[in-house]
Structure 1
């Protein structure tokens, strides 16, 4: 096969990784069940990582890398654990898809592995040569700000430990970073 387009190149690069490159797809649910349902795993919980603030919010779960996104653009896009499992070259597809579905003035929230606490800290060239992501990739707040530089950073930091109590149980882990961005683009007139 000769590469004649960007998507063909991305698919070719997918083959560099040991079957984990597509672990973010719905087809990988068996893989994740084996990990996340394991007794004692820190992510084996039913607790929400974002509490509902209003009943007027409609939630849509969609794989915007592989599925057509109905409606949109959207005022809020939230990623809870996908981004840090993408191979370096697939981040390009992710950013392209995010640009397409995030409304001007809309918000993008992300919960991802923290560099030094969870996931690989190896540079992308090392990840590409090794063909392994391990359990994922850890990011610093600066790296997230650079990755989504076309958005305005509203806030970022370690996942807060506060808020989880008997009356208001929510999921928190200190190996996760959360960030909120805003799309500064203006709506088409």
Structure 2
């Protein structure tokens, strides 16, 4: 018999355990799943390309964000982290997968980019390890792989790591295009995330209602010859934490 719940963190970890590692793609137990995902670099995966997100490029070009400290959540092979570094940001980038981080470090060496990579769960890394507060927290495709209860951890990370006046920029699955539209409770009954959660603009505005919306739109479809990454099945959102 086990009686081992006495904190919110204990509850979150209990709920993590309801998902198989391949379903809960943010937990530390899922590192092996992601390693297998990133192991074959020749796979036809859209975001394996060495291109930054078109919305990120646009934020910089329009002056909506300016260089400072940046955290790239779920950085994968590092394409957006490298672009931020080239734009003058001091970048920390974190991913669960050692294979993804090794690939990102290889790209950074080839580009001569100064990025500090971390392998692990951003929710578990200490403030000293992350080095914030950050003027920009960038998330390209991480948020929609969180089980519903881990939104609590995500918002707590923003509370402690996003500087006043700083920005959260994220892209996530759009309803009607990609991802599951099941109600939150049904993911626990199914013990899986069905490949990721789809969101509406209204749900994103509600979840991040403590922040000020700067822009929320569909990601533009970028052709293969473009220098930027863009897939229209994603929302792109930019929020600001008021000073």
Question: Normalising by the residue count of structure 2, what TM-score does the alignment of the two structures yield?
Answer: 0.68
Q: Which runs of 5+ in 2 are unaligned?
A: 58-82, 95-120
Identify the residue that residue 170 of structure 1 maps to in structure 2: 228
1:6-26 Cα offsets, whole Å, 9 max, x none, are 111111111111224542257
Structure (1 or 2) with the greater helix fraction:
2
Q: Which runs of 5+ in 1 are unaligned?
A: none
| Secondary structure of the corresponding residue to residue 59 of structure 1 | strand
| Cα distance change on mapping 1:22 and 1:131 into 2, 3 Å | closer
| Cα distance change on mapping 1:101 and 1:131 into 2, 3 Å | same
How many pairs align? 183
Q: Give me the whole-angstrom Cα distance separating, in 1, the residues matched to 2:144 and 2:239.
A: 17
Higher relative contact order (CA 8 A, sep 6+): 1
1:35-55 Cα offsets, whole Å, 9 max, x none, are 454633333322222344764
- Contact 1:14/1:21, CA 8 A, preserved across alignment: no
| Cα distance change on mapping 1:16 and 1:25 into 2, 3 Å | closer
Question: Normalising by the residue count of structure 1, what TM-score does the alignment of the two structures yield?
Answer: 0.85
1:33-86 Cα offsets, whole Å, 9 max, x none, are 544546333333222223447642211113431212433211111111111111
Deviates further, 117-126 or 67-76: 67-76
- Contact 2:22/2:33, CA 8 A, preserved across alignment: no
Q: Give me the whole-angstrom Cα distance separating, in 2, the residues matched to 1:134 and 1:78.
A: 24
Instruction: Give the superposed CA RMSD.
Output: 2.3
Deviates further, 25-34 or 42-51: 25-34
User: How far did residue 87 of structure 1 move?
Assistant: 0.6
